[in-house]
């Protein structure tokens, strides 16, 4: 059935206009003032509302076996939370262990998403090893499955982390294939040394996570990647950039010809390192890597978004429960869920807390409230960094990230007037806590369509499970 969205103000990365949008099937057919209403068309009145292209989250984790546990969401829960928060497409990090071969892992991740996702999805393929035959398997996935981006970890030694030889060969392969390489940039050896030092000194609580991976550790990781990118010519995208110093390294490399782009994530823009100091182990809720920095870093990140040196605001959604998972790193042996793994029921420590924060549902409202309403970014920049730029970087544009004739009818009708309070009691993510508990946010994600199909009406979910589509992507780098 055709759908006509009337009387709203359309906002895209390039401008604003009052116009109607006519969608036929999955696609936008026409945009114009007071469009005629074809017979049988459903009409949605968007008076007083802003009409946005569906938002894209280019960095999420859903299926994530990590740090001795597994992230809590399924694609059914994560994607429902995503669309309620205005996100109509996400790109998940497919993160195999070093024991899994790339093709088996890719098909496992894809199957899990196909089973439940109500929104569209794609994958950055984690290259967590590069042994005999792996390069050919990667080539095949790029050509046959439309994998247009890889993911490498310079951190997480012994888990997802790769060595320098593998990094060099992966970047060379990516350059050959036109694939962009997304990268977690922290020096793994420095982290291991500093963790051991702090733990030896009895510094065990979540507040010691940041000092174990200070800014210099991230800066070194970024510099490392820039060196390898320069020598191979690979196009790289630094995920979850937390501070101005790391941003400067990448901006500097760009000035010297390195093809590099930068992502930051919503926790860095809205939280600060003091949250990890909360008493009663509450600080564990805020343990992610790189760590959340001092509050003054937020301004450097907002400035990066304004100037365009930061292209995207993702979530790095990585949902672990507080009670049953974050407690794996509790320093009190009586409360440490990892005690059974430790000789003599030893105390836990911050290095055992599963890294990650759930935020897929809250990204857009937080970015609008703290970014647009506080005058940090314009509405157009808001759309660019939360939707359009990711589409352009990852081979989804102009189907996604745009309101234009021929684009997918992924549309968010946003009412700027209502306010609400974020709480784990009302969120749809599978975790038992919200890192943004009690925060007032402005605006309601009123109606959301994914390829012309409503998934949210009047702020409520109107679909069951599934219906999302895998997005094969061309290599554009």
Task: Tell me if 316 contacts Zn ion by CB under 5 A.
Answer: yes
Among 85, 304, 329, 356, binds ligand URP (CB under 6 A): 356
Which strands make up the sheet holding 9-12, listed edge to edge?
Answer: 15-18, 9-12, 50-53, 411-421, 440-450, 453-457, 460-461
Rounded to whole angstroms, the Cα distance separating 253 from 279 reads: 40
Report strand pairing: 411-421 vs 440-450.
antiparallel
Smallest gap from Cβ 263 to ligand URP, in A, equals 11
Task: Tell me if 288 contacts ligand URP by CB under 6 A.
Answer: yes
Among 170, 289, 315, 351, binds ligand URP (CB under 6 A): 289
134-145 and 164-177 helices, crossing angle to 10°: 30
- How far is C-alpha 110 from the geometric centre of its chain's CA atoms? 17
Residue placing its CB nearer to Zn ion in the complex, 316 or 415? 316
Rounded to whole angstroms, the Cα distance separating 395 from 477 reads: 9
Task: Tell me if 210 contacts ligand URP by CB under 6 A.
Answer: no
Residue placing its CB nearer to Zn ion in the complex, 72 or 399? 72
Report strand pairing: 50-53 vs 27-32.
unpaired
One symbol per residue from 305 to 324: x for binding ligand URP (CB under 6 A), - otherwise; what is it? -----------x-x------
Q: How far is CA 297 from CA 43, 55, 113, 301, 352, in A?
A: 45, 25, 35, 7, 26
Smallest gap from Cβ 358 to ligand URP, in A, equals 11
∠ CA 391-65-211, rounded to 5°: 85
Among 124, 184, 209, 446, binds Zn ion (CB under 5 A): 184
Task: Tell me if 264 contacts ligand URP by CB under 6 A.
Answer: no
Residue placing its CB nearer to ligand URP in the complex, 4 or 225? 225
Smallest gap from Cβ 136 to Zn ion, in A, equals 27
Residue placing its CB nearer to Zn ion in the complex, 236 or 411? 236
Residue placing its CB nearer to ligand URP in the complex, 240 or 399? 240
State the sign of the Cα–Cα–Cα–Cα dihedral 36, 38, 39, 42.
negative
Task: Tell me if 184 contacts ligand URP by CB under 6 A.
Answer: yes
**Site residues (CB under 6 A) for ligand URP, limited to 61-120:** 61
Rounded to whole angstroms, the Cα distance separating 264 from 288 reads: 13
Rounded to whole angstroms, the Cα distance separating 52 from 414 reads: 7
Q: What residues line the site for Zn ion (CB under 5 A)?
A: 184, 316
Q: What residues line the site for ligand URP (CB under 6 A)?
A: 61, 184, 240, 288-289, 316, 318, 355-356
């Amino acid at each position: 059935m055709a759908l006509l969205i009337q009387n709203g103000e359309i906002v895209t990365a390039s401008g604003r206009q009052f116009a109607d949008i006519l969608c036929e099937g999955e696609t936008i057919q026409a945009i114009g003032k007071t469009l005629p209403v074809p017979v049988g068309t459903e009409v949605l009145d968007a008076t007083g509302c802003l009409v946005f292209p569906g938002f894209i989250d280019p960095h999420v984790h859903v299926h994530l076996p990590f740090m001795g546990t597994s992230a809590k969401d399924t694609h059914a829960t994560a994607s429902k939370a995503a669309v309620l928060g205005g996100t109509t497409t996400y790109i998940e990090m497919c993160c195999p262990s070093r024991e899994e071969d790339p093709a088996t892992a890719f098909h496992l991740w894809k199957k899990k998403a196909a089973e439940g996702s109500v929104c569209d999805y794609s994958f950055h393929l984690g290259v967590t090893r590069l042994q005999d035959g792996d390069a050919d398997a990667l080539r095949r996935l790029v050509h046959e499955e439309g994998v247009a981006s890889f993911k490498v970890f310079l951190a997480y030694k012994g888990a997802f982390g790769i060595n320098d030889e593998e990094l060099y060969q992966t970047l060379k392969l990516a350059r050959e294939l036109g694939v962009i390489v997304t990268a977690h940039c922290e020096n793994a050896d420095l982290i291991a040394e500093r963790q051991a030092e702090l733990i030896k000194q009895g510094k065990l609580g979540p507040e010691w996570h940041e000092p174990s991976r200070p800014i210099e550790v991230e800066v070194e990781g970024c510099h490392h990647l820039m060196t390898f990118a320069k020598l191979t010519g690979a196009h790289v995208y630094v995920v979850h950039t937390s501070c101005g110093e790391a941003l400067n390294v990448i901006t500097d490399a760009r000035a010297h010809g390195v093809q590099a782009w930068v992502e930051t994530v919503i926790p860095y823009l809205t939280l600060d390192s003091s949250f990890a100091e909360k008493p009663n182990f509450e600080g564990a809720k805020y343990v992610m890597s790189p760590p959340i920095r001092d509050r003054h870093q937020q301004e450097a990140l907002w400035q990066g978004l304004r100037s365009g040196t930061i292209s995207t605001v993702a979530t790095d959604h990585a949902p672990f429960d507080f009670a049953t998972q974050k407690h794996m790193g509790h320093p009190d042996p009586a409360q440490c869920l990892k005690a059974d793994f430790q000789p003599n029921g030893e105390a836990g420590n911050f290095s055992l807390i599963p890294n990650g924060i759930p935020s897929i549902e809250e990204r857009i409202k937080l970015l609008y409230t703290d970014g647009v309403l506080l005058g940090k970014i314009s509405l157009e920049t808001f759309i660019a960094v939360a939707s359009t730029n990711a589409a352009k970087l990852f081979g989804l544009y102009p189907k996604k990230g745009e309101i234009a004739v021929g684009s997918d009818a992924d549309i968010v009708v946003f009412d700027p007037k209502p306010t609400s309070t974020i709480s784990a009691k009302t969120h749809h993510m599978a975790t038992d806590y919200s890192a943004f508990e009690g925060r007032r946010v402005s605006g309601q994600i009123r109606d959301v369509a994914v390829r012309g199909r409503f998934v949210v009406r009047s702020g409520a979910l109107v679909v069951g499970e599934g219906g999302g589509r895998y997005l094969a992507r061309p290599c554009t780098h």
